Amino acid sequence: MAINGTLVLVNTAGSAIASTTDATLNIEMDTPDASTKGSAGWAEVIAGQKSWSIDVDGLATFDYSGGNVNELATYLINRTQINVRFLPNVGSAFKGDAYMTSVSIGTPNEDVATISGTFVGDGVLEQIEIS
């Protein structure tokens, strides 16, 4: 069943990141080369390390208390490990510990200020069920 993307939130510290407009969960696996002379010219790989990250975009909110600019910048500046959750309103969700590795704030002339950032997973990404 398809769901409206608006229903998927990224939570940190028990609450949704304020004013997000987009979030992307990336799950990857390395595939180290395992080719030999006997591979007949074909690449062979093995399953390697897995990694994950979450990219968020939104409208920048500059409130010192509760604003997403302060929240995300503080995570990065203080090197804080955060428990992050990628949550739809129902079904499969994901959670894990991560570090904020980038924060970008855009302030175009006569337009809406924006923020984007990336959380990089530190260890296991758990799949959980939301009912």
Q: Which CATH number goes with the domain that contains 101?
A: 2.40.30
The amino acid occupying position 75 is: Y
| Position 117 in a domain | yes
| Position 37 in a domain | no
Structurally, the chain folds into a number of domains equal to: 1
- Mean residue pLDDT across the chain: 92
Structural domain boundaries, residue 103: 7-28+50-130
| Position 19 in a domain | yes
CA dihedral 47, 51, 55, 61 (to 10 degrees): 170
| Position 16 in a domain | yes
| Position 91 in a domain | yes
The three-class DSSP label of residue 72 is helix
What was the pLDDT predicted at 1? Answer: 64
pTM of the model: 0.90
What was the pLDDT predicted at 123? Answer: 98
The three-class DSSP label of residue 56 is strand
| Position 35 in a domain | no
For residue 54, count CB atoms less than 10 angstroms from its CB and return exposed for 0-12, middle for 13-18, buried for 19 or more: buried
